[in-house]
Amino acid sequence: MAQSTSSAATTQFTFDFGKGAVVGDFDGGDICIDGGIVLLRELDDRRGYSRRIASCISDWRTGPVKHEVEDLVRMELFMKACGYSGGIDANSLRQNAMFDAAAAQPGKTLPGQSSFSRARNNVDADSVDRMQRLLTEQ
């Protein structure tokens, strides 16, 4: 007979078949389906895709900035590669330990939706032209 023990910390099911109990423990902690992002980060570090693309984009901002253009580009590339469609996903991914470890620079936080919206809306035609030329060179 199965017994359930549930609390905020853990959920367990014990199945006692007379010859011994089988315990199912469903407390997996922080689970992430985006484990491949670690490989993306390694590839990006070796090939410099985020750095190269960021160098094509004119930084329109003045004053102190929280997220460098390269950080915005890296997060955008990683989100697209993992199947996330837009900047709105950035808000939830900021809480994703795997994304934080792979996409954020040490000591920094990941950008949110508002940062992506501003970045996307301020990329000028010259920056797009430079990115197109970079694509053909690659």
Q: What is the pTM of this model?
A: 0.72
Say what percent of the chain tops pLDDT 90. 20
Query: Pick the residue with more confidence: 38 or 56?
Result: 56
pLDDT of residue 2: 44
- Token digits for 51? 């750095």
Q: For 24-28, what is the mean pLDDT?
A: 71
Tokens 């199912």, residue located: 24
What's the gap between Cα 62 and its chain centre? Answer: 26
Q: For 90-115, what is the mean pLDDT?
A: 84
Q: For 115-135, what is the mean pLDDT?
A: 90
Please answer whether residues 75 and 120 qualify as being in contact, where contact means their C-beta atoms are separated by less than 8 angstroms. Answer: no
Residue 85 one-letter amino acid: S
By three-state DSSP, how is residue 101 classified?
A: helix
Query: Pick the residue with more confidence: 51 or 107?
Result: 51
Q: For 106-114, what is the mean pLDDT?
A: 85
Backbone angles phi, psi at 71, to 5 degrees: -65, -40
Please answer whether residues 99 and 93 qualify as being in contact, where contact means their C-beta atoms are separated by less than 8 angstroms. Answer: yes
